[in-house]
Amino acid sequence: MAKIFVETERLILRELVPEDAERMFLLDGNPEVMRFLGRNTVTKVEESSEIIEKIRKQYRENGIGRWAVVEKSSNLLIGWSGLKFLTEEINGFKNVYELGYRFLPESWGKGYASESAGASLNYGFNILDVEVIYASATIDNDGSNHVLRKLGFTEKGTFIDPLDHEECFWYELRKEDFQR
């Protein structure tokens, strides 16, 4: 049984488990989903299994990692969302918490990114007692940038992501600004 971390009105945010590999493959194998990430789609379910195991390793080593997002009405995994503790430097930042999310296209435009990200931020600030959380999005990913600004993140500049070589906005949200 997967550990549930947060429930919202429409969503369950729980740990990713090996049994999620098929649904994760739908996500990471979809060119539309990967379009703003500058990365190739996965081509085998086994690759999604490896990604899940890396995230489970983050749970063990850092006490946090991205969570499966399950839509209550369908009981299907529709994406992932949550915090990651950055152990490798990104944009000059290391050993900080970063918010991220990714959803299947049929779930876009329904408010799931805002709902799950807001719940993840609440968990980070109020359960983990983190003082600041960071996020990034490619500058042409209007949907993701809109969600981050709506959640209260402040744009702090741009950088080139070393993995996908795309220009990204770098965002910051402080605990006191989230609680306003």
Domains of the chain, with CATH numbers? Answer: 4-178 (3.40.630.30)
Give dist(CA 58, CA 76) in Å, integer.
23
pLDDT digits (tens, 9 = 90+) for 68-78: 999 999 999 99
Residue with tokens 């600030």: 125
The mean pLDDT of 27-41, rounded to a whole number, is 85
Per-residue DSSP letter, 139: T
Kindly report the pTM of this predicted structure.
Answer: 0.94
Q: Which residue has the tokens 């990471």?
A: 28
Q: What's the pLDDT at 162?
A: 82
Location of structure tokens 């070589």: 165
pLDDT confidence bin for 98, thresholds 50/70/90: very high
Q: In which band, very low, low, confident or very high, does the pLDDT at 160 lie, cut at 50, 70 and 90?
A: very high
What is the dihedral angle through the alpha carbons of 60, 30, 148, 175, rounded to the nearest 10 degrees?
A: -10
Strands 132-138 and 96-103 turn out to be parallel
How much is the pLDDT for 179? 77
Lowest mean pLDDT among 32-36, 59-63, 74-78, 151-155: 32-36
Q: pLDDT value at position 38?
A: 67
What mean pLDDT, rounded, does the chain reach? 94
Residue 165 pLDDT: 83
